[in-house]
Amino acid sequence: MMERQFIDSTEMELRKDEDYIASLGMVGEGAPDHGAFKPKRAEPEGFDEEDLPAAYQ
């Protein structure tokens, strides 16, 4: 049987605090962005139709 869990009044006050909610969105701020160090690959510009199998032509 499930037991009833009562709501903590201090938690409810935090949920209404806009500054607290905004601070939750900042979790991870200041961490290194490893994606910035990866070399960017050039996008493929197309394909040569002669390289395709005969069924695709």
pLDDT tens digit string along 39-52? 777 766 777 778 77
Q: Summarize the confidence of residues 11-21 as an average pLDDT.
A: 87
Distances (CA, A) of 39 to 5, 35, 36, 46: 50, 9, 8, 21
Cβ within 8 Å of residue 57, ≥6 positions away: 49
What tens digit of pLDDT does each residue of 19-33 get?
888 877 766 666 666
Is pTM beyond 0.85? Reply is no
